[in-house]
Structure 1
Amino acid sequence: MRSFLLGLATASLAAAHFQLKYPAAGFDDDLEGTGPCGGVTPVVDSGSPEITVDQFAVQIFTSHPMGNFSFFATTNVAEPYNFTEIVPSVKTTGAGDFCLTSISLPSDWAGKQGILQVVDQGPDGVLYQCAPVRFVEGANSTAGPSCKNASSFAAEWTSATTTGEETNTTSSSAGAATSTPAGAGAALKAGVGSVLGFGLLAAALAL
């Protein structure tokens, strides 16, 4: 019975376009192409995950062999959300889990509620997911023991949200994608050059 249930869970993930696993998001595979949050209205409450503003991790499962993920956040908890980009886009190759382990936000967001949005411009078009979160002080580099990249996975930072040109890149077949925390400037929606100017380095995938 346990094996059967595990098989169902695995099949469900395999059928998904992509799934924001941490922080957990409301998920409807059929409506993922509906912006801004994949047909789901995120609601922040006392049970919403705490996100540490100095450093936090994001874990995603993707069933697509290629993707282009963008990451946004806001302290507005109702539409219009007015999302701001928090890191350059991430171009991915390979299906399975991947984990970005070193994203940061402005320190003055601590103590506020908000929404984290992930957007994938993949083979099935533009897909969206949003997680209701609570921003807190501190740093955390993991989303748990499963916060690592699938063996077939590789990633690189890009500037797809601005010019479409790629920045310096590194990739790995395992481990977790990381970046140097960018501080308060990372949350400003600007060209990738401006974001990089605040200290965000090209991706390094730890083995």
Structure 2
Amino acid sequence: MPSFKNLALLFLAAQSTTAHFLLHYPTTIGFSDDDEGTAPCGSFTVDFSTDNITNFHVDSDVIAVESTHPAAIWLFRATLDTTASGNWTDLLPAVSQDSLGAFCEKGIVVPSSWAGQRGVISVVQDATDGLLYQCAAVNFVSGSSNSTPSSCTNVTGLTATFTQASALSSIPASATGSATSTAATGTGTGKSAAGALRPVEYGAFGALSWVVVVGGATVLVALL
């Protein structure tokens, strides 16, 4: 039987022609249902003097979102440009979510050299109403997170796999297009780089599968 939370999300999706997504962790700098389609941060401007700032661990941390769409594709990226105007680095290949509700991607890695600096985490969703954006102001800190935020949950029946997404890959990394993506090309040292073995698929009842991306294809390796 669907949970009350899922029924509420279904109702919202049915009632709104602009059903969007929520960024639960790191803390969003702002959410506007009407303006979430405005790049790069859903119409909000990053301001470290007023925004809620999250400590984000470079060796392993999480990004927690919630979608009101039954299917969506996600792009997780980050930059040391505190204005969020460019020089983005993709933290993962595009992730396809085939379910409605909460989704938490664990083991997110950013370059270790970013520790001790401020930056911005960006989440972009590609769904039925186009590209949607939210940002979080963060302090990049060394090490791995030793706790999991309560918002890091996955709806029962969630399936999330790496995919190819032309709409997301066409987003420029910077105003000049000079920045390079480390994780998406598999050339970086991050543990989340394409081609690495990592948990990304959640089957019915929340069972965790291990997959590996080879040549753009997602291959199921084992089921726990």
What is the alpha-carbon distance in structure 2 between the residues aligned to residue 91 and residue 37 of structure 1?
A: 21
CA positional deviation for 1:43: 1.9
Which of the residues 4, 24, 27 maps onto 2:27? Answer: 24
CA positional deviation for 1:163: 10
Pairwise mapping of residues 122-133 of structure 1 onto structure 2 (< 5 A)? 122-133=127-138
2:74–2:95 contact (8 Å) kept in structure 1: yes
- Structure 1 stretches of 4+ moved >6 Å: none
Q: Secondary structure at the match of 2:34?
A: helix
Which residue identity does 1:38 align to in structure 2? G
Which of the residues 106, 109, 117 maps onto 2:114? Answer: 109
CA positional deviation for 1:204: 4.2
What is the alpha-carbon distance in structure 2 between the residues aligned to residue 68 and residue 59 of structure 1?
A: 14
Q: Secondary structure at the match of 1:31?
A: coil
2:63–2:106 contact (8 Å) kept in structure 1: yes
What is the alpha-carbon distance in structure 2 between the residues aligned to residue 34 and residue 91 of structure 1?
A: 21
Match for residue 159 of structure 1?
164
Q: Which runs of 5+ in 2 are unaligned?
A: 14-18, 170-178, 208-224
Which residue identity does 2:60 align to in structure 1? Q
Work out the percentage of aligned pairs sharing the same amino acid. 35
What is the alpha-carbon distance in structure 1 between the residues aligned to residue 196 and residue 180 of structure 2?
A: 13
How many residues align structurally?
177
What is the alpha-carbon distance in structure 2 between the residues aligned to residue 48 and residue 95 of structure 1?
A: 28
Q: Secondary structure at the match of 2:150?
A: coil
Which residue identity does 2:197 align to in structure 1? L
CA positional deviation for 1:142: 5.3
Does 1:83 pair with 2:83? no
What is the alpha-carbon distance in structure 2 between the residues aligned to residue 141 and residue 121 of structure 1?
A: 31
What is the alpha-carbon distance in structure 2 between the residues aligned to residue 35 and residue 115 of structure 1?
A: 13
What is the alpha-carbon distance in structure 1 between the residues aligned to residue 168 and residue 134 of structure 2?
A: 24
> Compared with structure 1, are the counterparts of its residues 79 and 133 closer, same or farther at alpha carbon in structure 2 (3 Å cutoff)?
closer
Q: Secondary structure at the match of 1:108?
A: helix
The CA RMSD over aligned residues, in Å, is 3.1
1:97–1:148 contact (8 Å) kept in structure 2: yes
The Cα offsets for residues 124-156 of structure 1, whole Å up to 9 and x where unpaired, read as 101011111110011026542341210132110
> Compared with structure 1, are the counterparts of its residues 161 and 136 closer, same or farther at alpha carbon in structure 2 (3 Å cutoff)?
farther
Q: TM-score, normalised to structure 2's length?
A: 0.68
Compare the two structures and name the one with the higher helix fraction: 1
What is the alpha-carbon distance in structure 2 between the residues aligned to residue 198 and residue 56 of structure 1?
A: 17
Q: TM-score, normalised to structure 1's length?
A: 0.74
CA positional deviation for 1:78: 1.5
> Compared with structure 1, are the counterparts of its residues 163 and 134 closer, same or farther at alpha carbon in structure 2 (3 Å cutoff)?
closer
What is the alpha-carbon distance in structure 2 between the residues aligned to residue 50 and residue 83 of structure 1?
A: 19
Does 1:149 pair with 2:154? yes
Q: Which runs of 5+ in 1 are unaligned?
A: 1-6, 165-186
> Compared with structure 1, are the counterparts of its residues 64 and 42 closer, same or farther at alpha carbon in structure 2 (3 Å cutoff)?
same
What is the alpha-carbon distance in structure 2 between the residues aligned to residue 162 and residue 63 of structure 1?
A: 19
Which residue identity does 1:84 align to in structure 2? T
Q: Secondary structure at the match of 1:49?
A: strand
CA positional deviation for 1:188: 4.7
Match for residue 201 of structure 1?
197
Q: Secondary structure at the match of 1:88?
A: coil
> Compared with structure 1, are the counterparts of its residues 193 and 109 closer, same or farther at alpha carbon in structure 2 (3 Å cutoff)?
closer
CA positional deviation for 1:159: 3.0
